Amino acid sequence: KRLGAATYSTFTTTFDARARSPPRTAAHSRAALSAMATAGYTNLCCFACVEQSALGFVTRFGRFVRFAEPGCTVVNCPCGEQVGGALSLRVQQLNVQCETKTKDNVFVITRIAVQYEVLREDAYNAYYKLTDPRGQITSYVFDVVRSYIPRIDLDDVFTTKEDIAQAVKDELGKAMSSYGYQILQTLVTDIEPASNVKAAMNDINAAHRQRVAALERAEAEKLQIVKAAEADAEAKHLAGQGIARQRQAIVNGLRESVNTFQEDVTEVNAREVLNLVLTTQYFDTLNSIGSSSRTNTVFVPHGPGAVSDVAQQIAAGGIMAAATTQTMKRGR
């Protein structure tokens, strides 16, 4: 850094005095250097420090002379040299927030992160050609985003984030390369529509999921009903088979009883034997009804002549059943 005229005069006087003096020993030389430093030699920017990962620009009376590498750099202050500035060679990030409208007339705020660096071989253009690189990058991002997003719908904005980022990177790469900047990466970090639009999107999503849940519940209930009906049909089928087998066993038993009775008593015919067997079963039924403690009260007309009446009723029932069977056969 430059100091006042008094310090510069002190340095000049000391330097001239040492220059006019005859050569002396090494001790005298070290003393001279110490006196020069004390007089403000280093404070006249004859030594300048450039940080690591940076590049300094040495100028002479405002005109660029050379680059200053990281570390201590010697500049010729009396001749008007100084370190006019420095550029960082590190990777930098610029966050840009842009509001625009989609094709379906929804305003969204898009946040984009741009990662860039200065090209060392083109640092001259980066420093002297561009005054505000971050502002320039922001302008290009706005231009690309506001020309790309209005061509697509809101839903497509979320699904084409990579395409938007690539479009921004391509445009920035072409524009900033001539200024000595390299665009490393562009990232679409956030897409935020208006609050009422987000609420509507959430409602649509919730309604869709509720509809799917209702369909799944209905399908589950349908499956339960179908399975229950199939189980009931299977149960009735098995019950019918059981009843048929039971009746077949009863018929077989009656047939054997009739045949056995006719073998022993030849004067009776098969109908009389059947009536006798049915009457016996009737009394067995009455006995089982009366002996069960859990049977409800059943009123059955019965008297001394009930045995013959029962036999006649059973015979009449058999005749009616036979007539019905014949009628059904004729109908077929």
Domain extent listing, the chain = 5-88, 92-193, 199-258, 268-291+299-332
Say if residue 5's pLDDT is above 50.
no
Return the pLDDT at 110. Answer: 93
- Identify the bridge partners of residue 74 per DSSP, sorted by sequence position: 47
Report residue 182's pLDDT band, with 50, 70 and 90 as the boundaries: very high
Regarding predicted confidence, which is higher, 215 or 257?
215
pLDDT beyond 80 at 205: no
Separation of alpha carbons 105 and 109, rounded Å: 13
- What band does 253 get if pLDDT is binned at 50, 70 and 90? confident
Mean pLDDT of the chain: 77
CA distances from 294 to 15, 39, 150, 288, 317 (A): 134, 127, 84, 11, 30
pLDDT in tens, 45-97: 488 888 888 899 988 888 888 888 888 888 888 788 888 888 899 999 999 99
When pLDDT is averaged across residues 107-131 and rounded to a whole number, the result is 92
Please state the rounded mean pLDDT for residues 146-155: 90
- What Å distances lie between residue 57 and 40, 70, 124, CA to CA? 23, 11, 9
- Considering only 22-26, 100-104, 265-269, 328-332, which range has the smallest mean pLDDT? 22-26
Q: Name the one residue in this structure whose structure tokens are 């209930």.
A: 221
This prediction's pTM: 0.49
Alpha-carbon span 131 to 125, nearest angstrom: 10
Average pLDDT for 134-162: 91
Exposed/middle/buried for residue 284 (C-beta within 10 Å: 0-12, 13-18, 19+)? exposed
Q: How far is residue 209's CA from residue 228's CA, in Å, rounded to a whole number?
A: 28
Q: Residue 57: what residue type?
A: F
Cα–Cα nearest to 100, from 152, 137, 136: 152
CATH superfamily of 92-193: Band 7 domain (3.30.479.30)
Confidence check: pLDDT of 133 > 60? yes
Is residue 319 pLDDT above 90, yes or no?
A: no
**pLDDT recorded at residue 271:** 67
Which residue type does 225 have? I
At residue 188, the pLDDT reads: 93
Ramachandran angles phi, psi of 304, nearest 5° = -60, -35
| 323 pLDDT above the threshold of 90 | no
Per cent of the chain over pLDDT 70 is 69
pLDDT of residue 20: 37
Q: Average of pLDDT values for 210-224?
A: 89
